[in-house]
Each structure stands twice: as structure tokens, then as C-alpha cells.
Chains A and B, each alone.
Chain A
């Protein structure tokens, strides 16, 4: 096989099937992975959740992951937020002519590893090759179907005054890692993306506390944007304790230098959960026993006052508004 992807790999002929066999089938093989025009699947019993997400992150390899791992995590986490066990996924690749085959292998291997960890099956895929300069390296779109667990109902509309606000780990790491990986700022700091598939901790959390009101993954726009969304959808206020918000020291250093707010930097392995106050300690305890959510912590409460806004109690005991996100957010972070 060639060392790089050529236009012929996308033409539908012999080389296309070679690419699929040697790269994708080699990594994604399972009983449902289809060579037919569509995959035929057993239907789950209950309600299903379905979602799709495109990934164009630049650079495609970054500390803590690559675009392949990210493309599985993103869709798995979106399903998980609805209380849905990820069952099946499809993936569509747009690959730039000249992309290194070894890198494509590495991306596919990361997808395999992450999908296996969750137990989700890749059942269909598509490959297109774009001419040199028409896309940056490789773009991936994944679509997923999950089975919503019985009795579970989560939604951004369900936050209630008095509820506790939990974040499952330190904030802003993915955005910060990508920003440093682009090497545009001349800052050296060892920051690893938090990119992770979160179904297992969500499953454990829902088993312990089935009435979690809201689960959101804090991707583009970070935890701050998610909280503003929830405040608007539920018609409530969010009051955070600034000193409780977990931020890695290196992330704090970098964002301090660049004047960025860690609450608005993307995460790819962090969830915001909102649940009744009396269940919050139990939920945190369960999350802390799970991989990827060991540092879960209560960061605030939902209030009737300040509807639609996010308020912070500062280190000096005053209250201030978390400014709504501006327009200087980074492009191509996921």
C-alpha cells in the first residue's frame, strides 16, 4: 500500500477497498461492521438517542489524544449526557490527498481502542479523498445511537432551584492543550488534553442517582458556556463558588498570561451534572470512584434569583457576574 493517501483511494475502486480493508476493517472489525450499503442492526428495547458530530481539530495529534480518539469521545459523551448507553456508531472520513498512511492508521487505532473501552460498535463508514489544500489533513464525522436507560430523563431544561452543580474534573484542559500544540504563542507548558470517553462514569452515576436532572459535556465554549445554556433553558440562575472551580496550575498559568478565562476553554472529558442537593454528596462519591471523574467536585448551586445568569462568589467574599462568552474563542479546537 502507498505511504500516503492518493485521490485513487477515494475513487471507489481497488485502492479504496484496499484502504478500507487494511486500515478501517483491520481496526473496526465486529459482527455488525458492514460491507453492504447499510448496516442491519438489532433494535434496542427502549427509547434511543441519536447524535452526530464533525471533527476538524488542528493539529490532529495533540498531547492526550488525536482526532480519532476525539471523534469517538465526542459522540459517546453526547449520548452519555442523555443517559444513553452508546451502542452503534458510524464514521465518515474526509482525507486530504497526501495524508500519511501511518498517521491514518494511528487515528484508526485510537478510534478502535476508545470504542472498545466503551463497548460501542463501529458499524458503517465512508471515505472520501479531497484534493491537496481542500481540507486540513483529515476531517471525521461520527454518528451514534444509544439506548436510553430505563427511568432516566436528563435535559438542560430540568435544573431546579436548590440543585447542586457538579463538574467532573479540572476545567479548560483540552482548549489549553490545543492552543499550546499550535505553538503560536511561544509558551512552553506541559498540558495534556482531558479527552476521554465518559459513558462508564455516567452509567455508574445514573445507577447510584437516577434522578440527575442535567448532564452536559463542556466541549466548545467550556463549562461557562454550558452553564449559561442551562440557565437559559431552565430559567434559573447559577451561583458558583470561584474557589471551588478546579483549574490545573499550568492551565491557570497559561490562561493568566493570555488573558483567557479557563471556564470558557473547551473540555473534551468533563461533564457538568446538576442534581438535587441532597443527592450531591453521594453523586460526587460515586464519580470519584470512576476513571476520568476522580476529581469531581460540587462547584455551586442553582438559584431562583438571577435567572439566565451565572454568578460567582469570589475569593474575597463578594459576588460578581461571570461575563458571557465573547467572540475571541479559538477556532478548530474539536
Chain B
């Protein structure tokens, strides 16, 4: 029997205590659907899509701030594509384009910095979102801008760190499926420490084989009844993580309180530039006034992100909120839970639960 069949057997036949597993990472959520894994799980295994999609947890007010910079301060906004369609309080960046906002889609923060360098007559703001995986490349863009004297380049930070989210979510799940790419940077100490608080988890890769293995290990260990951590992605995740990336981020950024859509403000869960780099901080340079965002009151993205409801339980899901006309961020983002449920046909006549 090969490894895949063995892991599959464990997941199909699991008959231990009910086990809730939170996929912290949006890429995991999508890969689990793409690989058809939910379909084969024993009814005693419950997957919960957690808060690990950077676009999904970005608050409405952040979109409003970006639109303020574009429309009131005439800045050129550079952003990852997914953010463009996320609704703000009134507009999305896409609809703001219709009112004259300059919004460019980039594939890395460095692309935005290079654009700024080549367009010295524009004030260029990169929308800096993401977890530990993405934050180092935001820092590199700022470091390059400082070295190149790209004075017209800024970032609007909404970078977040995972440990605070684990802490906020730990009562909503029996164990975490930790995001492999985050822990490739941070290492696994935080996961080991959580074991001390009774919180279990496995660190997982992203292929079908890796996900099956990690889930099989998770439920097998869970059955034993003691808190545990297992690194099931050792080819990428080392216990110490990436010291170079950690050192660069620590040198350039400092922790701050951060607002998470659906979860609220978590102390020290965000990252912002240190005062030495204030010239590149759009909030400081452009003097953005405090903005309180207003989400669509019917949207239940927050409850989805906390794992309290499935996307299908949201009254807007698939009716007024679709990938073509998204109301909430979880439907916009390619990593969002609602988008995965919708695209892979869960509860919409697809094959997943026929």
C-alpha cells in the first residue's frame, strides 16, 4: 500500500472523537477543494476555513484609505490584483478607477518600486498586505527605494502576523493546519509554544500528497488525546525558519495593533515601518485622516473567517454575492473561503457533497 492510499484510508475511516481542523491558510483551502479532499473525509472530520487569506482579513477601512490616497491625494496605487475588487465603504478601487483613480496591478512590491523609479512625476503607493511570507518582500521594496532614492515611493501597510490570529482562533478549532509558507519564514517555535497552551497542529505543504499526509497525521495524533505539533512539511519548513528574513523585517518594521476583518483589533498583530523609514510610510507622508470603514451589514465574512459559519450559511452567498459581483472580501480573493466554496460547487449543485 503506498503512502497516498494509507493516508486516504486513515481519513476515510477515521472513527475517533469529532475533530475540527482549521485551515489557517487560504491557499490550503483552495488546494483542499482542488484536490477533492473534503469529499473523502470521514464525517467525523470537520474542516473549517480560517482567517489566513490576507485579502480577506484586510478591513474595509484599508480600502477606503487607498481610495482616499488615489482620489484626494492623486497618488498612483500599485496593488496585488485581488484587492482591486474588494468593496470599500462606498467604492472599490475598481469603481474608483471610473472616477479617475490610477490603479495598477503588480505582481510584487519590487515591481511597484521600479514603477515609481520610472515615473518620478507620480506619487506611487504600494498596498502592503500579507503575512510573514509577503512582508519580507515589502521590506525589500522599501530598502531598494531608500538605496535608489526613490522618494516618490511609499507603502500603505496592513501587514499582519499569525501568532495573534492563532491565539484569537484557538477556541474555535481542535487543531490547526498551519500554513507552510508562513512557517518557512518564522520557524516552528510558535507552534511548539502553543502545544504548551494545549493547542495542537500540523504544518502542511500544498500538494495533494502533502495535504493528505498532514491531515492523516493530524487526526491520528488527535486520537491519542494529547496536545501535539508535527512538522509535515520539513523539506521547506525548518525549526529556525529564515533568520535572514526575520532579521530584515525586525530591522525595518515594528509590531502595531491591527484590525482584522471579522475578528476586530488584535494587539501587536500588525507590522508597520519603523520611524527611520517614515518617509516611505504613506499614512505619515500623506497625512491620512482616521477612517472608519462600513461593511455591507448583510455580509458575514467575519463569521466565516472565525469559522463560526460556513459560507453557505451567509444569506448573501451565491445570491447577491458571487465572484462576478462580490460583496465581501472572502468572495473576491482567489484564496477566500467563499470563493472556494462557490467555484468548487460546494452546496451549489457541485459534486462535493452529492
Contacts and interface: CB of A to CB of B under 8 A. Distances in A.
A321 B324 contact: no
Nearest to B343: A323
Nearest to B114: A186
Contacts of A328: 81
Contacts of A215: none
Contacts of A151: none
Contact of B345 (A186, A309, A312): A309
A311 interface: yes
A207 interface: no
A322 to B, nearest CB: 9
Interface string A293-313: 000000000000010010110
A259 B334 contact: yes
A174 B37 CA distance: 32
A190 interface: no
Contact of B36 (A186, A306, A318): A318
A316 B350 contact: no
B68 interface: no
A320 B35 contact: yes
A316 B5 CA distance: 8
Contacts of A134: none
A319 B212 CA distance: 14
B209 A316 contact: yes
A109 B173 CA distance: 65
Nearest to A328: B81
B35 A321 contact: no
Given A258-B107, A320-B34, A321-B352, A315 B324 contact: no
B209 A320 contact: no
Contacts of A259: 334
B312 interface: no
A316 B107 contact: no
Contacts of B34: 314, 320
B157 to A, nearest CB: 23
Nearest to A306: B351
Contact of A315 (B81, B111, B209, B351): B209
B4 interface: yes
A259 to B, nearest CB: 6
B164 to A, nearest CB: 27
B343 A320 contact: no
A315 to B, nearest CB: 5
B33 interface: yes
B278 interface: no
Nearest to B107: A185
Contact of A320 (B5, B36, B107): B36
Contacts of B212: 316
- Chain A binding surface, main DSSP class: loop
Given A259-B334, A309-B351, A324-B343, A319 B208 contact: no
Nearest to B40: A318
Interface string B201-240: 0000000110010000000000000000000000000000
Interface in A88-145: none
B107 A319 contact: no
Contact of B350 (A185, A312, A314, A321): A321
Contact of B351 (A311, A316, A317): A311
A114 B108 CA distance: 40
Given A258-B107, A314-B208, A326-B323, A319 B344 contact: no
B39 interface: yes
A323 B33 CA distance: 10
B143 interface: no
B8 interface: yes
A328 B80 CA distance: 13
Contact of A316 (B8, B81, B334, B352): B8
B350 A317 contact: no
A328 B40 CA distance: 30
Contact of A319 (B39, B108, B324, B334): B39
Given A314-B208, A315-B208, A320 B8 contact: no
A321 B344 contact: yes
Interface string B1-24: 000110010000000000000000
Nearest to B352: A321
B106 to A, nearest CB: 9
B107 A327 contact: no
Contacts of A326: 323, 343
B37 A318 contact: yes
Interface in B324-348: 324, 334, 343-345
Interface of B: 4-5, 8, 33-37, 39-40, 81, 107-108, 111, 208-209, 212, 323-324, 334, 343-345, 350-352
6 contacts: A315-B35, A320-B35, A321-B350, A321-B351, A323-B345, A324-B343
Interface of A: 185-186, 258-259, 306, 309, 311-312, 314-321, 323-324, 326-328
Given A321-B344, A321-B350, A324-B343, 8 more contacts: A309-B351, A314-B208, A315-B209, A316-B35, A320-B39, A320-B344, A321-B343, A321-B351
The 8 closest A-B pairs by CB, nearest first: A318-B36, A320-B36, A323-B343, A316-B208, A321-B345, A321-B350, A319-B36, A314-B35
